[in-house]
Amino acid sequence: MNWLDALPLALIPTFGLIVTVLVLGFLYSSFSLRGRREPPGPRPVPLFGNLFQVDLRRLDQSLCNLSKKYGPVFQVFFGPKKVVVLAGYRTVKQALVNHADEFGNREITPIFYDFNKGHGIIFSNGELWKEMRRFALSTLRDFGMGRKMSEEKIIEECHYLIAEFEQFEGKPFSNNKAINYAASNVISALMFGERFDYSDKVFQAMVERDNESIHLTGSTSLLLYNLCPWLGPFLKHWRDLMKNVEDGKRDVRTMIKNLKETLDPGMCRCFVDAFLIRKKHLEDSELLNLHYHDDNLLYSVMNLFAAGTDTTATTLKWCLLYMAKFPHVQERVLEELSTVVGSRQVRTEDRKNLPYTDAVIHESQRLANIVPMALPHTIGKDVTFQGYFIKEGTTVVPLLTSVLYDDSEWENPHSFSPSHFLDSEGKFVRREAFMPFSAGRRACLGESLARMELFLFFTSLLQHFRFTPPPGVSEDQLDLTPVVGISLTPTPQKLCAVRRH
């Protein structure tokens, strides 16, 4: 697909009006940096930059290919916009961890601004971001994120998910919605103090909207929108996305309103309560309250709800697809679970005695590579990195594909191989280049919760079911090609969950 296909034909002539401005801007940028050693990269052409040299449908792969020619730090132009790409484990770690201050800002692209207007946690910067992230981390930990309290909530949700799978009696079905609902219910319990029935229409709409929005955000037309925001109203994907955002805000506002009406400062039930109590305390104390207001509450809840659902659910779908695709791996997991745990409920503490199972989960995360380019960063202040000058405000893409598939770190980077995480004695081995949650200041704040969810959901399902392709479909015919959005999800296809007992 040519990127121009995403542009309405009626708008193409108007490009001539801005060509001169863009060309002059490009020449000025080149002149102002003369004498400073910039990262290498393919030669751009005015207006279009390097758009004709990349495939916007799998941009991460195109950038990986360019890194083989230009090295671990290089630059490309998306239209007139300069982007510095970081490739390979050592370079990404050096930037995000060792130079966290310089590389730690989030780029607020036009579409990200449309999402949150600069509020919330994921798409904000500066003191606002620091305070909201600090509050979210401490509050979620207070409610047991990654500890015993959240373990009980996840185990409870496992029972509902197992019951949902059982209804299909081993016949082929799509597990997408049920897995989305299960993961969403875990974060819902933390956000709102309750779980929702899988048949709840409002809950279904919230989850499915977020799922669609994540896919739309990575579409070619919205990549073009970020370059030319005036295109927005003419692009169907942008209009659909804005409707999703407004509908989502309406539903979350209703839930916050209901919690506000029943708020008891002496009994904090959830994240929303904690925020409202903090806000009231600051108001009662007449302290200057810059960050604890309704917009930050609304957008923080929406951020956490969407992120807490998508990453865990998508990874679990890949895990089950890999089990059906590689039955010999599944058999070893079943054997280890039967030997170590038997029929009792798996607990988080069992992980240390299930090295092969743990390796399979980690390898699924690595190979699935669900957020291939992370979310873009910007440079907080001028920096010289690996000998190259990068100007403040420059967009930076940490290419996580190049980390999780780094052939200097992984023996068989493009194959499913649990041995990547096992030593010669079969014990689990942590690998520094395992970076699916990114790293540094912008690493996923829900990592401990996501890791616990993946382990408990995966092992509980494998205790009860054997996952196979539908009748008439071979393992080789199962499709591992991802559906590309801002994250990579499995191609929709049915599996069978056959009862083990």
Distance of CA 338 to the CA centre of its chain: 32
Query: What's 470's DSSP letter?
Result: P
Residue 415 Rama label (left phi>0; alpha psi -120 to 50; beta): beta
Kindly list the distances between the CA atom of residue 455 and the CA atoms of 79, 102, 158, 374, 451, in Å, as whole numbers in the listed order. Answer: 43, 34, 11, 23, 6
Q: Is 496 one of the annotated binding-site residues? A: no
Rounded to whole angstroms, how far apart are CA atoms 179 and 202? 17
Kindly list the distances between the CA atom of residue 443 and the CA atoms of 126, 149, 304, in Å, as whole numbers in the listed order. Answer: 16, 23, 14
Kindly list the distances between the CA atom of residue 299 and the CA atoms of 57, 106, 252, in Å, as whole numbers in the listed order. Answer: 29, 16, 9
Q: Cα Rg for the chain, rounded, in angstroms? A: 23
Rounded to whole angstroms, how far apart are CA atoms 146 and 481? 32
Angle made by CA atoms 232, 237, 243, in degrees to the nearest 5: 85
Rounded to whole angstroms, how far apart are CA atoms 274 and 269? 8
Q: Which residue has the tokens 């020449």?
A: 27
Q: Give the tokens for residue 29.
A: 């940028």
Q: Give the tokens for residue 157.
A: 């949700």
Contact 64, 57 (CB under 8 A): no
End-to-end CA distance of the chain: 48
Amino acid at site 235: L
Rounded to whole angstroms, how far apart are CA atoms 467 and 322? 9
Q: Which parts are annotated binding residues?
A: 444
Q: Which parts are annotated binding residues for heme?
A: 444
